[in-house]
Structure 1
């Protein structure tokens, strides 16, 4: 049973959306300054932030005892499928009628079936063939499918940390394995390796781990307040550079620190300053 809206997460959803929109806007632009190119590159990590917020939201709304698997899957399906199916048909209609460049790159039976069963994320031929950015929907649906297992981490702090740690190693291993073993255009295979749901899984698991640690860390609100400003400063610095924080793993760690500190912080000490 869902326990209601969690207001403070809306800010993080907004940042995720702004980051992704900025990334696509810059891709369509020319002669942009270096700093804006760097910011847009970091903005693409907004998808990981969205996955993390998704994992956290689900873990805060459900536990292993309250989760009714059938009801959960029905709700998740109707949350995603109608608009996703509409988008797929929209791109086909627009591509055939007024804007040929919008036509999906692959209209095979395989592509149709994989798109409408959310399995397009399992093949480099279909992962983004119908709906631009369809890889993120495919990944999210896989996370939903696994959530009845992962929700058990919600009440086990150290086990959740162990799962996150293992997922990072598995993510990197799968990424490298795909690049080395799957034939095809190098750029396409590299994109597929990055978009593959197991590569992205650490972000979702971090959201669940954050939910597991929230009750414990609320005891240290003052520390969390200062930690929030520190991590926020690191995030801003990362957005303007392409150093170590440009990787999706580093971005996951930054985002998790930002969300965790924001969720447990107490900013009442600032009131006297105004």
Structure 2
């Protein structure tokens, strides 16, 4: 597959991580306006999920017919996530425990994160590695992906667009069922960024949207890029998400991930249209996207510590906060990018190579001893 045709996926990841960094960065300012500007960045998580589902589908098709494909899929996914995430566990434990804020670092919570079951344990879900809830949701998606993609892809080949519409309908029913079921059970709406919002079932529709987008737009011809249409629909979708977040519309948080997933598809298609037209071909955003996982794990250390100290020097002076906001954000991104290059070289790439070596070893035919 030509690299340029797929660079839109790295650009998706680049935009996603910039949005996620922005939301946590903006939390450090006293200015309510800066906080509001950054708040919408939380939908970068759903952009990540759509990109993840798309690339997993692409990889599954490229490796179709591989011996022990499901086993190898789990090996690759584990070594893709675990080494850097384990570094995050150690680093954040050291930071918070040394600062006297380590009450959540119990043996149970740490082990839940080590074994990636923290996505179903409220006390462990987001308390060991900041933002770790997304990894919990992602790992549960990995768990079901081989069977899920097999079912969706097979039904699509047999029934075409009607099958994809049915799967989207199922995903929407799951989202609405969780949204209204929680309301009926507790008498409360799902709150933003709380455990019921972060669990896999609340995000399932986003992953399904990514799978359907891959089959409809990449393997099929149901959503050819149209830059004006895609740009307007992406802007409208993210605008709706921004309104929900900024206006704090409690009755809609349960379906906010679905809104963000749909908007992410049109943004992806807009970026795909640019790639097809030769409007990209690398560049800084693709570079950021390639190290986006490292940036996700590392960025809290920078924006919640050194950057926060700098921001607090200007706290209370709105004009000064506005003057430093953009330059300091750019500095943060540059520093994180180079830190990400280091972890990519010394952690992520060796781990991926180790996964390939393990798969080769397991696939090597066993010698039959001579009788």
Common fold: TM-score over 0.5: yes
Q: How does 1:47-196 map to 2 (within 5 A)?
A: 47-63=45-61, 65-66=64-65, 68-97=69-98, 99-101=99-101, 103=102, 105-152=103-150, 153-154=152-153, 156=156, 157-178=161-182, 181=185, 191-196=194-199
The answer to whether the 8 Å contact 2:191/2:197 transfers is no
The answer to whether the 8 Å contact 2:231/2:266 transfers is no
Decide whether aligned partners of structure 1 residues 91 and 202 sit closer, same or farther in structure 2, where only a CA change above 3 A counts.
same
Decide whether aligned partners of structure 1 residues 179 and 235 sit closer, same or farther in structure 2, where only a CA change above 3 A counts.
closer
Normalising by structure 1, what TM-score?
0.81
Residue 255 (structure 1) shift: 1.3
Normalising by structure 2, what TM-score?
0.61
Residue 232 (structure 1) shift: 4.0
How far, CA to CA, are the matches of 1:236 and 1:188 in structure 2?
19
Tell me the matched-pair count. Answer: 260
The answer to whether the 8 Å contact 2:190/2:197 transfers is no
How far, CA to CA, are the matches of 1:188 and 1:268 in structure 2?
41
The answer to whether the 8 Å contact 1:207/1:256 transfers is yes
- Where in structure 1 are there 5+ consecutive unaligned residues? none
Decide whether aligned partners of structure 1 residues 163 and 113 sit closer, same or farther in structure 2, where only a CA change above 3 A counts.
same
Match of 1:11 in 2: 11
Question: Mean Cα displacement is larger for which, 22-31 or 58-67?
Answer: 58-67
**1:248 equivalenced with 2:248 (yes/no):** no
The answer to whether the 8 Å contact 1:217/1:264 transfers is no
Residue by residue over 1:164-196, the C-alpha shift from the partner in whole angstroms, topping out at 9 and shown as x without a partner, is 22122212322444566579x999897111000
**1:27 equivalenced with 2:31 (yes/no):** no
The structure with the larger Rg is 2
Give the secondary structure class of the aligned counterpart of 1:100: coil
**In angstroms, what is the RMSD of aligned CA positions?**
3.3
| Larger relative contact order (CA 8 Å, sep ≥ 6) | 2
Give the secondary structure class of the aligned counterpart of 1:217: coil
How far, CA to CA, are the matches of 1:85 and 1:191 in structure 2?
23
The answer to whether the 8 Å contact 1:179/1:189 transfers is no
Give the secondary structure class of the aligned counterpart of 1:8: helix
The answer to whether the 8 Å contact 1:228/1:265 transfers is no
- Where in structure 2 are there 5+ consecutive unaligned residues? 280-371
The answer to whether the 8 Å contact 1:171/1:201 transfers is yes
**1:229 equivalenced with 2:231 (yes/no):** yes
